[in-house]
């Protein structure tokens, strides 16, 4: 069969390869001519994953049997539009896809359906400082339809909001931006699979983040199991309310929650496999292969098994996804991936960089240098394995210095 996959970056690479391994022809669309997934695709088109009309035309050109994406938010809407136009199998209809990819629609549903979220408002370039009266600072400014923490800033005054608004809007196709009151909290991520309107929670991970100046929410790790599993019933109740409120009938569900003094609040909702290598770590933890399920469903094929028998609370495994970063500099040498995967507990690793590249200062999640998926028999063993892996991980610059930023949490 022939499947159109939107996005040929590192987050989509596994999907392209898996579809090919399953005997399907892949039609790849990506804005970048040198996207790494192109070498694995049967057919390539240089087209933005945001361009609905062009992707519909490509679906017609190649007579595809299905369309999908993974690891990225915005193409979810394009996928739904292509599927609707060509009468292809789809997890989401166009309205639901828009609701989970546009923060204005998303937040409006939160309010209408009384799903707990932080206080917010929408602003445009016509905003004046006086219009922000009554808002509790600091605040977080976000584009309505971007990803990777691009244009997301923590700001302390009305004047800073006005100053940064143009940059935030530059990452969006909308003329509005989202402004939220900052909520001091831990972050957790819920990955679930929805079958006939019922969500089965597969994993809850602690989303470890850091901040550089105004740039916040940049994730450097996902740790399983979450330290907040004591609130599982509350988490499950929120996930069930989201599934019902958004009308999600089938497919992957990815929700970011904020855990703070006033309770658990919903940050964002997405209907996709997450971009933190969930396609690798969820099968390891649960035995449920999300990637196979997405590919099969997108082609109208029935999955070979159900998720109904899985119970997260019985899962006693330990795992951490390390999304590592590096300081600015020119990359002269790297620890071989094969060397990393031979280390204790490391089941997968890879780079987003290569020798000869010049690394710039970190300002959003797209600056990730690479990843490692690390396991351990216990929490202490896991932490030891992560620490051991970072002691071996080298990104060497022209001066012989190691540019890797070491996470203090695990040492």
pLDDT higher than 80, residue 75: yes
> Vertex 144, ends 143 and 145: CA angle to 5°?
95
CB 336 within 8 A of CB 395: no
Calculate ∠ Cα 196-199-200, nearest 5°.
120
Question: Band of the pLDDT at 147, cuts 50, 70, 90?
Answer: low
Site of tokens 């159109």: 4
Confidence check: pLDDT of 411 > 80: no
pTM: 0.93
Residue 39's pLDDT is what?
96
- Helices marked H in 210-336 — which ranges? 232-246, 278-286, 290-298
Q: What is the mean pLDDT of the chain?
A: 93
Across 96-110, 135-149, 177-191, 247-261, least confident range: 135-149
Provide the token pair at 49.
């994953």
- In angstroms, rounded to a whole number, what is the distance separating the alpha carbons of residues 82 and 360? 36
What residue spans of 214-365 are helical by DSSP H?
A: 232-246, 278-286, 290-298, 337-340
Phi, psi (degrees; rounded to nearest 5) at 152: -100, 120
DSSP assignment, residue 395?
E
Confidence check: pLDDT of 410 > 70? no
Map out the domains of the chain with their CATH numbers: 2-90 (3.40.50.20), 119-181 (3.30.1490.20), 185-410 (3.30.470.20)
The whole-angstrom separation of Cα 148 and Cα 274 is 12
* C-alpha distance from residue 133 to each of 128, 144, 403 (Å): 10, 22, 43
**What dihedral do alpha carbons 338, 344, 349, 351 form, nearest 10°?**
-70
């Amino acid at each position: 069969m022939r499947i159109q996959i939107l996005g040929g970056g590192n987050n989509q690479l596994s999907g392209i390869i898996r579809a090919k391994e399953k005997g399907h022809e892949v039609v790849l669309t990506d804005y970048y001519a040198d996207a790494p997934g192109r070498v694995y695709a049967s057919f390539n088109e240089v087209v933005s994953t945001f361009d609905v009309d062009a992707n519909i035309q490509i679906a017609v050109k190649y007579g595809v049997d299905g369309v999908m994406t993974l690891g990225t938010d915005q193409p979810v809407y394009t996928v739904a539009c292509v599927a609707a136009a060509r009468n292809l199998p789809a997890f989401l209809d166009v309205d639901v896809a828009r609701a989970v990819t546009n923060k204005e629609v998303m937040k409006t549903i939160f309010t209408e359906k009384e799903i707990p979220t932080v206080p917010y408002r929408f602003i445009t370039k016509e905003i004046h400082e006086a219009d922000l009266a009554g808002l509790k600072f600091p605040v977080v400014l976000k584009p309505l339809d971007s990803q990777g923490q691009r244009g997301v800033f923590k700001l302390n005054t009305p004047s800073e909001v006005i100053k940064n608004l143009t940059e935030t809007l530059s990452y969006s196709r909308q003329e509005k931006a989202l402004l939220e009151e900052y909520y001091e909290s831990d972050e957790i991520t819920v990955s679930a699979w929805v079958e006939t309107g019922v969500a089965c929670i597969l994993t809850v991970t602690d989303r470890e983040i850091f901040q550089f100046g105004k740039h916040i929410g940049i994730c450097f790790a996902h740790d399983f199991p979450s330290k907040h599993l004591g609130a599982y019933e509350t988490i499950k109740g929120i996930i069930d309310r989201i599934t019902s409120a958004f009308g999600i009938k089938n497919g992957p569900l990815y929700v970011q929650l904020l855990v703070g003094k006033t309770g658990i609040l919903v940050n964002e909702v997405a209907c996709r496999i997450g971009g933190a290598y969930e396609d690798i770590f969820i099968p390891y933890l649960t035995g449920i292969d999300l990637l196979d399920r997405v590919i099969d469903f997108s082609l109208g094929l029935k999955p070979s098994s159900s998720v109904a028998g899985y119970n997260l609370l019985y899962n006693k495994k330990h795992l951490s996804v390390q999304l590592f970063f590096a300081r600015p500099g020119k990359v002269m040498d790297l620890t071989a991936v094969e060397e990393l995967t031979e280390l204790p507990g490391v089941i997968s690793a890879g780079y987003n960089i290569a020798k000869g590249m010049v690394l710039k200062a970190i300002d959003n999640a797209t600056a990730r240098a690479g990843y490692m998926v690390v396991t351990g028999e216990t929490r202490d063993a896991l932490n030891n394995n992560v620490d051991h892996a970072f002691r071996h991980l080298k990104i060497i610059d022209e001066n012989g210095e190691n540019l890797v930023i070491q996470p203090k949490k695990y040492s």
